[in-house]
């Protein structure tokens, strides 16, 4: 009958939907989760994160390594900072970036495991 009065369709298995709804996180948490994983969802950014898992690096080196401008790297690093994925220390003009915590390496490791199945 009606397909998308609001935007979806009828529930077939009420109990299942109810069970799942009970275990659901908040809308905000899903947004935060998505924002976090999005940081790993771009080839040059995941490459950047993987590089930092090997050694701290400055913006110039990262730009050369990744083959993009310092500007692009700086923009990426800003997003990564906002997600608490990287931290930095300043030494003169040079800013060294490194991973903020173990989660990054763990996520990378599991991701690598998955794609190599």
Partner DNA sequence: CAAATGGTTGAGCATTTGTTCAACTATTTT
Partner DNA sequence: AAAATAGTTGAACAAATGCTCAACCATTTG
Give the x-and-dash track for 6-25 against DNA (CB under 7 A).
Answer: -x-xx-x-------------
Position 92 contacts DNA (CB under 7 A): yes
* The entry of DNA, a second copy, none that residue 75 binds, CB within 5 to 8 Å by partner kind: DNA
Vertex 24 angle, CA 106 and 21, to 5° = 150
Token output for 89: 């220390």
CB of 90 to a second copy, least distance (A): 14
Token output for 76: 């990426």
Look up tokens 């050369």; give the residue.
Answer: 64
Element (H, E) at 94: strand 94-99
Position 1 contacts a second copy (CB under 8 A): no
Give residue 114's region: left, alpha or beta (phi > 0; psi -120 to 50): alpha
First vs last C-alpha separation in the chain:
43
Q: Which of 93, 113, 114, 115 binds DNA (CB under 7 A)?
A: 93
Q: Which residues bind a second copy (CB under 8 A)?
A: 3-4, 6-13, 16-17, 19-21, 23-25, 27, 29-47, 50-51, 54-58, 60-61, 63-70, 84, 94, 101, 103, 106-108, 110-115, 117
């Amino acid at each position: 009958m009606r397909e998308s009065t609001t935007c979806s369709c009828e529930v077939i298995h009420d109990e299942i939907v109810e069970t799942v709804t009970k275990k659901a996180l908040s809308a905000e948490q899903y947004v935060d989760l998505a924002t976090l994983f999005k940081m790993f969802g771009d080839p040059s950014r995941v490459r950047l994160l993987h590089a930092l898992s090997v050694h701290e690096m400055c913006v110039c080196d990262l730009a050369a390594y990744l083959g993009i401008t310092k500007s692009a790297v700086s923009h990426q690093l800003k997003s990564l900072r906002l997600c608490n994925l990287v931290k930095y220390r300043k030494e003169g003009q040079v800013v060294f970036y490194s991973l903020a915590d173990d989660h990054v390496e763990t996520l990378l490791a599991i991701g690598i495991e998955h794609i190599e199945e």
